């Protein structure tokens, strides 16, 4: 039962037990040498806190405002494809969990269920993440459906003109239906002009996901985005990219509060969330951690994951002397050398890479 999980270690182990090796590697794996994946962790581990003491931290407000929505904590669920592999209920389970918990669900256009089904399953705020698989007529049709189904925002993921070479999947001789679909190559011809046309048609808040440099962040702001999601797709596309926490400060500076800045990549601990917020993010996204919650016990497993993450955020904020997310800033951080090797589960001391093989 999900309520019996006392920490995320147990959730990850339960997901590992529940899934086939193929599903585990689909979720946990990344591109080629998985250096980008490990750099996400390395970047997070390259900061230590500078705690302030003897402040009244008996009350801590974790709520955050994102795209006009008040979230229970500054964490939302990043878009993921093929959620049906993680839990039989698929993305419906995820949307119900985020609704129950009180945050935003981003819904991938390759999540495996249509936008109307997901909208009917859960009333909480949802953002539609589109992969471009057709011409403007195709795009307009999909945007209209998401709009009619009440999605509050559109997210365009821009870091995957080509699908990353994921060797764990190749070694399993396994690929997703959406990957063999030849129309996915259309994504490779998408430009800022296409982006501008899409944004105009959508007419509501637009999030650009997959920004990795200050130069592209500036262009995104010029194109009128509501939010920039600093992301390297969890290391699943370009190998040998930077860790997202190493990209975040320059993007925050370039954006200069003209749009919200979100970040995802390697966030699995409350301290990770607090570090990202100290560096200027408005909120963070979780990918694999949410997947593991779903794998452990579907909707309930994800709610429990979010609750445990929240308790870690609360604890970290209290221990550094901050009582609201607005108070967080670079004054709480210093650069350090990370402790030991980093890998996809190195934030979980008791697991070790071998425990999950």
Ligand X SMILES: Cc1cc2nc3c(=O)[nH]c(=O)nc-3n(C[C@H](O)[C@H](O)[C@H](O)COP(=O)(O)O)c2cc1C
State which residue, 112 or 322, has the beta carbon closest to ligand X. 112
d(CA 242, CA 256): 21
State which residue, 237 or 322, has the beta carbon closest to ligand X. 237
State which residue, 16 or 236, has the beta carbon closest to ligand X. 236
As a three-state string, the secondary structure of 177-230 is HHHHCHHHHHHHHCCHHHHHHHHHHHCCCEEEEEECCHHHHHHHHHCCCCEEEE
Closest separation in Å from C-beta 85 to ligand X: 8
d(CA 87, CA 57): 38
Q: Indicate the SS3 state at residue 176.
A: coil
Contact residues toward ligand X (CB under 6 A) are 26-27, 40, 78-81, 108, 110, 129, 157, 209, 231, 233-234, 236, 264-267, 286-288, 291
Question: Strand 206-211 vs strand 153-157: parallel, antiparallel, or unpaired?
Answer: parallel
Closest separation in Å from C-beta 54 to ligand X: 35
Closest separation in Å from C-beta 154 to ligand X: 12
Burial class (CB in 10 A: 0-12, 13-18, 19+), 221: middle
Which one is catalytic: 9, 16, 223, 233? 233
State which residue, 309 or 320, has the beta carbon closest to ligand X. 309
Extract the tokens encoding 34.
């998985």
**Helix or strand run (H / E) with residue 39:** helix 35-45
CB-closest chain residue to ligand X: 287
CA separation, residue 212 to residues 28, 35, 284 (Å)? 21, 16, 15
Closest separation in Å from C-beta 159 to ligand X: 8
CA end-to-end span of the chain: 24
233 annotated active-site:
yes
State which residue, 99 or 231, has the beta carbon closest to ligand X. 231
Closest separation in Å from C-beta 278 to ligand X: 18
Q: Which residues are catalytic, by number? A: 233
């Amino acid at each position: 039962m999900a309520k019996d999980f006392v920490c995320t270690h147990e959730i990850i182990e339960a997901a590992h037990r529940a899934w086939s090796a193929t599903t585990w590697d689909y979720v946990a794996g990344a591109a080629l040498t998985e250096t980008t994946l490990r750099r996400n962790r390395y970047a997070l581990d390259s900061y230590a806190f500078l705690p302030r003491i003897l402040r009244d931290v008996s009350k801590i407000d974790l709520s955050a405002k994102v795209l006009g929505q008040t979230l229970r904590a500054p964490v939302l669920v990043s878009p993921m494809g093929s959620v049906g592999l993680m839990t039989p209920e698929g993305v419906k389970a995820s949307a119900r969990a985020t609704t129950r918990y009180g945050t935003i669900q981003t819904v991938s256009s390759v999540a495996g269920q249509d936008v109307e089904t997901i909208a009917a399953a859960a009333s909480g705020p949802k953002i539609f993440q589109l992969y471009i698989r057709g011409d403007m007529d195709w795009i307009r049709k999909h945007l209209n459906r998401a709009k009619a189904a009440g999605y509050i925002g559109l997210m365009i993921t821009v870091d995957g003109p080509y699908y990353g070479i994921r060797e764990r999947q190749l070694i399993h001789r396994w690929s997703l239906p959406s990957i063999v679909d030849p129309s996915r190559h259309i994504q490779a011809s998408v430009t800022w002009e296409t982006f501008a046309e899409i944004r105009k048609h959508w007419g509501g808040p637009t999030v650009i996901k997959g920004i990795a440099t200050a130069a592209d962040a500036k262009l995104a702001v010029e194109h009128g985005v509501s939010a920039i999601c600093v992301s390297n797709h969890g290391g699943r596309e370009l190998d040998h990219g930077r860790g997202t926490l190493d990209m975040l400060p320059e993007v925050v500076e370039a954006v200069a509060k003209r749009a919200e800045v979100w970040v995802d990549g390697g966030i699995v601990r409350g301290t990770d969330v607090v570090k990202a917020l100290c560096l200027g993010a408005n909120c963070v996204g979780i990918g694999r951690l949410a997947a593991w919650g779903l794998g452990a016990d579907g909707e309930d497993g994800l709610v429990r994951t979010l609750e445990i993450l929240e308790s870690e955020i609360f604890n970290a904020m209290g221990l550094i002397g901050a009582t609201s997310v607005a108070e967080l800033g670079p004054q709480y951080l210093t650069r350090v050398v990370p402790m030991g090797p980093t890998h996809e589960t190195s934030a979980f001391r008791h697991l070790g890479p071998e425990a999950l093989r």
